[in-house]
Amino acid sequence: MRPVLRFFLALLLIAGLAPLETMGEGQWPTPPAEGKPPPQISGPLSGGTGDHTKYEALKQPFATGPDVTKACLSCHTETGKHFMKNIHWTWEYRNPDTGQLLGKKHLINNFCTNARGNEGMCAQCHAGYGWKDESFDFSDETNIDCLVCHDTTGTYYKTPNSKGSPACSVMFEGKPPMDFTLIAQSVGLPERANCGACHFNGGGGDNVKHGDLSSALKNPPRELDVHMDAKGLNFACTACHVTKSHVWAGSRYRVAATDDKGTGKPGQRRDVATCESCHGTAPHKVDSLASFKRNDHISSIACQTCHIPEFARGGVATITNWDWRTAGKTRNGEGYHEHGYTQGNGEHRYTYKSIKGDFTYGENLVPLYRWFNGQMHYTTIDTKFDITKPVAINDFTGSREDGDSRIWPFKKMTTWMPADLGNGTLVYTHLWGEDSDSYWGNYDMGKAIAHGMKEFGLPYSGEHGFVETFSYWPITHMVAPKEDALSCEDCHSKQGRLDGVAGIYIPGRDNNRWLDLIGIIAVVGTLVFILGHALIRIVAPNRGKH
């Protein structure tokens, strides 16, 4: 078989070259190209060309993660430079449109408040080793954590970078040691569980933050996510969040709310993770007159709006309300927690924790729908606001008129969180630390705030309290199968899903009250007139005469 194959291959090659030979007479060898030719476009990577169990660099005992990283970098020579540009490493993002400095390194969120100053705990999810304070070296390639994303054994784990209060560090004791050599030799492309180790647990627990990213997506059925369906398409996160030199498409800091470019040419689109980048800009099969209208809706409605009918599906709840005002209660001088919610998959969730306060959970939630142009405005540590009113941590912009917006689904998070009432700003709270100021262990919010602000040279009036805050999370995962998508009347009806969405006339939802009133009066009036006319004809004296 093989010689035959070789023969045909050779034949093909000759046949392919033959025209070149005759054409290129006198030009051989090919003249050198002017300058360096641009890199060619490759398709998405898959398969792999090397077996990591055979590499000499990995056939050694490793004591620590950074030792593995050194071995990785000895072959993947440029990866460190690439990796250090991405947000998993920098935790920093300058929004080019608003100029705001964003990223976990700076932002305050209305869950566990701030990573800044609490890196000893929070930077467990930094894709690096040992970030516990400002002294972390962002230029040292060996600090990169390759394994958190590329481990395929499921045995790799991370613990906080600093000990924290003894009350907390006890939680992370007694874990089994890791076999770094086995883990290093088993690396592969990231799977859902790799990304999920951090992204499913944002906000301090399973699905707490996003509502559409939970551990249910590790092995989801088709009903939960049609793309990640473990028995079907089985997409890893990177199937959509395409990667180029360790930079991923799809950003929550700069959302592509409208994508009119569609699929692009093969291999060309590495910049977005939009639905359109695979499905194009006319994704619905036209099999009825109404299907035309479905494709028309693309310009006004984000795909997610109809195709993610509810979030926090799959049995894992999300937190919708968080109240820091009740945090700090102790029993016998110690913190405690209360079970109070059993979620769809049978697991219990805490509804109160001394270190965090009260939580409200929700599952199978109908999103909030609003016009959204992809632009978020963050209330950062230096933003002054009116403390008497609720403040949006990330307010979004968008309207029917701006040309970039579509109607998007959101999770709305409401949190009463610590603030500087004197200055009217949010605060950095010092939650994690070995000192006597850290809130987790000492339960003194005033001291924790004073410490957190002082550490970064920020003004603090000394008057702390709590403000009501909102945050908005665009919903984009947990895409349901098409048969579970919304039907027309979910929006085209009174009290439908788009009830609060302004700036658009929606048949079935909207009507002109006056016109309807006049119309009904006209129809009823005509009926009365006809009946009256008929009645007079019946009772008129000369009826029979004609």
Partner 1 sequence: MAIRRVRIFSLFERFWHWSQMLLIMTLMFSGFGLHGFHHLLDFKQAVDLHTLAAFLLLLLWAFSIFWLFTTRNWRHFIPTVKGMWQVLRFYSFGIFQGEHHPYRKAYWRKHNPLQALAYLMLKIVLFPLIWISGLVYLFYFLWRDIPHATQVLDGVALVHTGAAFTIVVFVMIHVYMLTTGHSFKEHVMPMINGFDEVDLTPEEEAYLLKDQPEVLG
CB closer to partner 1 out of 297 and 412: 297
Q: Where are the alpha helices (DSSP H) in 170-275?
A: 180-185, 192-199
Contact residue for partner 1 among 137, 461, 511, 532 (CB under 8 A): 511
Positions in 257-296 near partner 1 (CB under 8 A): 288-290, 293, 296
Interaction between residue 505 and partner 1 (CB under 8 A): yes
Put residue 395 in one of left, alpha, beta given phi > 0 → left and psi -120 to 50 → alpha. beta
Q: Which of 299, 371, 406, 459 binds partner 1 (CB under 8 A)?
A: 299
537 binds partner 1 (CB under 8 A): yes
The distance of closest approach from Cβ of residue 533 to partner 1 in the complex, given in angstroms and rounded to an integer, is 8
365 beta partners? 311
State the Cα–Cα distance between residues 181 and 179, nearest whole angstrom. 6
Give the residue from 247, 239, 231, 229 showing the smallest Cα distance to 275: 239
Does position 489 interact with partner 1 (CB under 8 A)? The reply is yes
Q: Which of 20, 494, 499, 532 binds partner 1 (CB under 8 A)?
A: 494
Cα dist from 370 to 55, 290, 487, 497, whole Å: 52, 24, 18, 10
201: which residues sit within 8 A by CB, 6+ positions away? 125, 208, 215
Q: Alpha helix locations (H) across 190-275? A: 192-199
> Which is closer to partner 1, CB of 9 or CB of 534?
534
Under the binding rule (CB under 8 A), the answer on residue 97 touching partner 1 is no
Report if residue 28 touches partner 1, rule: CB under 8 A. no
H helix runs in 298-401, sequence order: 303-307
Kindly state the smallest distance separating residue 141's Cβ from partner 1, in Å.
48
- Residue 13 within binding range of partner 1, rule CB under 8 A: no
Query: From residue 50 to residue 89, what is the string marking binding to partner 1 with x (rule CB under 8 A)?
Result: ----------------------------------------
Q: How far is the CB of 287 from partner 1 (least distance, A)?
A: 11
Q: Are 93 and 376 in contact (CB under 8 A)?
A: no
Phi, psi of 229 (to 5 degrees): -35, 110
Binder of partner 1 out of 24, 48, 154, 507 (CB under 8 A):
507
The minimum distance between CB 262 and partner 1, in angstroms, equals 16
Under the binding rule (CB under 8 A), the answer on residue 42 touching partner 1 is no
Count of residues interacting with partner 1 (CB under 8 A) = 46
- Comparing CB distances to partner 1, the nearer of 233 and 290 is 290
Instruction: State which residue, 296 or 338, has the beta carbon closest to partner 1.
Output: 296
Whether 334 and 440 have beta carbons less than 8 Å apart is answered as: no
Strands (E), 480-529: none
Which residue, 459 or 519, is less far from partner 1 as judged by CB? 519
Nearer to partner 1, 389 or 543 (CB): 543
The least distance separating partner 1 from the CB of residue 524, rounded to whole angstroms, comes to 10
Q: Least distance from C-beta 503 to partner 1, angstroms?
A: 6
3-state secondary structure of 197: helix
Q: How distant, in Å, are the alpha carbons of 136, 154, 219, 421 from that of 235?
A: 35, 18, 11, 47
Q: Which is nearer to partner 1, 139 or 487 (CB)?
A: 487
In the bound state with partner 1, the residue whose beta carbon lies nearer, of 158 and 406, is 406
Query: Which residues 399-458 are close enough to bind partner 1 by CB under 8 A?
Result: 400-401, 403
Beta-bridge partner residues of 466:
418
In whole angstroms, how far apart are CA 388 and each of 298, 421, 446, 466, 468?
A: 39, 9, 20, 10, 9
Helix (H, G, I), strand (E, B) or coil at 414: strand
CA neighbor of 340 nearest in space, from 358, 313, 323: 358
Among residues 170, 125, 127, the alpha carbon closest in space to that of 147 is found at 127
Site string for partner 1, 348-387 (x = CB under 8 A): ----------------------------------------
Task: Provide the binding-site residues for partner 1, judged by CB under 8 A.
Answer: 288-290, 293, 296-297, 299-300, 400-401, 403, 487-489, 492-494, 503-505, 507-512, 515-516, 518-520, 522-523, 526-527, 530, 533-534, 536-537, 540, 542-546
